Amino acid sequence: MSSNDQREQRAANLLAECLKIQGVDRIFCVPGESYLAFLDALVDAQTIELVTCRHEGGAGFMALTDAKITGRPGVVVVSRGPGATNASIAVHTAEQDAAPLVLLIGQIARADKGRGAFQEVDYGKMFSGIAKGVWEVNDPGKLPETIARAFNMAQSGTPGPVVVSLPEDMLHENVAADIVPAMPPAIAKPSNSDIEEVMSLLAKSSRPLVIAGGAVRYGQARDALRRAAETHELPVALSFKYQDVLDNDHASFAGYLGFKIPRPQVEALSEADLILAIGTRLTDVTTQNYQLPRAPVPSQPLVHVYPDPAVIGRVFQTACGLPVDPHAFLDLLASTPAAPLKERAEWRDGLHKRAMDLAVYEPRTAPDGIDFGALVHALAKRAEPDAVIVTDAGNFSSWVHRHWPWGRKSLMLGAVGGAMGMGVPGAVAAGLRFPQRQVLCFVGDGGALMTGNELATAVRHKVPVKIFVSNNGSYGTIRQHQEREYPDRGEGTSLTKPDFAKWAESLGAKGLSIDNESDIEDVVARALAEKGSVVVDVCSSVELISAYTTISKIHNL
Ligand SMILES: Cc1ncc(C[n+]2csc(CCOP(=O)(O)OP(=O)(O)O)c2C)c(N)n1
């Protein structure tokens, strides 16, 4: 504890100091009268930038994306009641995505609690099922301890969301309190005997498979994964929304475990005689509905490496469960030599070829619009190697997942939890962190009108995002499910088709349209050449409903 901060100051200013010591340099908000004192304190907190958004869902998604980029907690501050309920989508997504998020809420005055006051909510009850911790700070002297705890908990074990409720009158009070320094989360390192155990399983395996996930994407962990894969000739399949964890033209790349992966691909991977799940929680999407590996008892020995012991053994019986730092594990594995096995290289090469064949784009046409894959394919040829790719949730992303050439410098951002609305806000957050990199956002017409108004935030902050809207006049993903379950009865999934180019212009961005396939090359070149933000309205087909199938094929199944 440092005692030099023991001077009396307004609680709101103390809060700003506590955030600074945690390394916070950017906060996303929609303002509210419940935290005016904190807004005022930020005037003097010179190292914290405040980004004002158009909707708390957008602000929350920006903070969440910021966390995914930096690996540190993203911070969002909103008003009580309506502000907090709007922001709740980001809390849920942070929980699903294992991303550290700190939600600060301006709360009603302490004396009014329990009276059903204007916009009163009990946040402990509201967030109890999705946040890792919820605290209300009634005594301003407890602010430093509470903020330190919130940041530590958000990052520990399985990272996730925490909520701190700040009564309005408390923020105005004067208080003298020591700042509590940041404490990095405790994380266990693997021991030599851990590696020996894994090596003895590996020695017996001619068809091992690594499934690598989001906890491997930070710092030098990707590099360690690549080295470990090379040392042991391991094929590596990537978990849902983490296609950037290994460059896809690397000999070890064995495919991607997202939605709608063709059955033969999954069957080929299921031939593995050993699975090493590293830095992934092995969710239902990644495991192809608990089949790869099979739950609860896998068909092959499973090694599971994840920082949180509560994750290991929760769904899958493991032959070896290691609640340790995945990066340190990979470092150790990479530096432990092993004799080469001929069959293993053949197995790895076969999986790699399959994965690369699946990624090849075959042009398709339909009378009702463009194949969105043609746009993705054209853009991939022109995009910079270190472009940041942000995807919203929806079928349009199937082409991005299938055909984008993820390289060593790629960064992929999106909601693992499948929430619509993260695309445009996520792109804004990425543009703020990476002013020098191309930021490309893919979004459906559904998702674009959920949180797309954050384009105004991009324009205000001069963040040049390139947004490609698949405008198929449909909640296409749900339409695909309908056509399979209830053919030709598409109730509730048709949408009007707004002119997204005009919409963009009205918000101060450039608007372009692609109505014919022959426009694609030219419009893509113009969009990328544009200095500011651009929206490209792509008139896409419903018949070509995803990268893997068509409506006609679904009908003929
Ligand atoms: C916030 C939220 N609401 C609803 C859903 C259910 N949902 C998943 S995809 C989808 C449709 C997406 O439509 P669109 O953005 O137009 O993309 P498309 O599937 O047509 O490519 C819906 C409604 C969701 N995932 N998230």
Index of the ligand 1 atom closest to the CA of residue 444:
15
CB-ligand 1 contact for 465 (6 Å cutoff): no
Two tokens, residue 171: 């923020």
| Residue 57 Cβ contacting ligand 1 at under 6 Å | no
- Matching residue, tokens 């009007």: 496
Q: How far apart are CA 97 and CA 484, in angstroms?
A: 28
Atom number in ligand 1 closest to CA 421: 1
User: What DSSP character marks residue 518?
Assistant: G
pLDDT of residue 342: 81
Pairing of strands 534-538, 510-514: parallel
pLDDT averaged per 10 residues, the chain (length 557) = 67 98 98 98 95 98 98 98 98 98 98 96 97 98 98 98 98 97 95 96 96 94 97 97 96 95 95 98 97 98 98 98 98 90 92 97 97 98 97 98 95 96 98 98 98 98 98 97 94 97 98 97 98 98 97 92
CB distance 478 to ligand 1 below 6 Å = yes
Q: Which atom of ligand 1 is nearest to the CA of 447?
A: 15
Q: What's the confidence (pLDDT) of residue 1?
A: 41
Answer yes or no: are the C-beta atoms of 305 and 322 closer than 8 Å: yes
Atom of ligand 1 nearest to the CA of 394: 19
Instruction: Please give the Cα distance from 469 to 214 (Å, whole number).
Output: 26
Q: Which two tokens stand for residue 283?
A: 């969710």
Q: How far is the CA of 452 from the centre of ligand 1 (A)?
A: 14
Q: Which residues on adjacent β-strands are paired with residue 133?
A: 162
Establish whether residue 547 lines the binding site of ligand 1, counting it when its CB lies within 6 angstroms of any ligand atom: no
Instruction: List residues bridging with 187 in a β-sheet.
Output: none
Instruction: Provide Rg for the chain, Cα atoms.
Output: 24
Could you tell me the distance, in angstroms and rounded to a whole number, from the CA of residue 81 to the centre of ligand 1?
Answer: 26
**Contact 252 CB / ligand 1 (< 6 Å):** no
**Ordered DSSP codes for 467-488:** EEEE--SB-HHHHHHHHHHSTT
Q: What spacing in Å lies between the alpha carbon of 19 and ligand 1's midpoint?
A: 35
Compute the distance from residue 17 Cα to the ligand 1 centre, in Å. Answer: 40
pLDDT at 340: 72
User: Any idea what DSSP says for residue 394?
Assistant: S
Alpha-carbon torsion angle 466, 472, 473, 476, nearest 10 = -100
**Residue 538 Cβ contacting ligand 1 at under 6 Å:** no
Pocket test for ligand 1, best of 475, 542, 543 (most atoms within 8 A of CB): 475
> How many angstroms separate the alpha carbon of residue 273 from the centre of ligand 1?
37
Q: Is this structure's pTM higher than 0.85?
A: yes
Q: What is the pLDDT of residue 152?
A: 98
**pLDDT for the residue numbered 218:** 87
**Residue 144, both tokens:** 């430093």
- 395: closest CA among 331, 324, 479? 479
Cα 176 to Cα 4, 8, 40, 45, 140: the distances in Å are 11, 4, 19, 18, 9
pLDDT of residue 343: 87
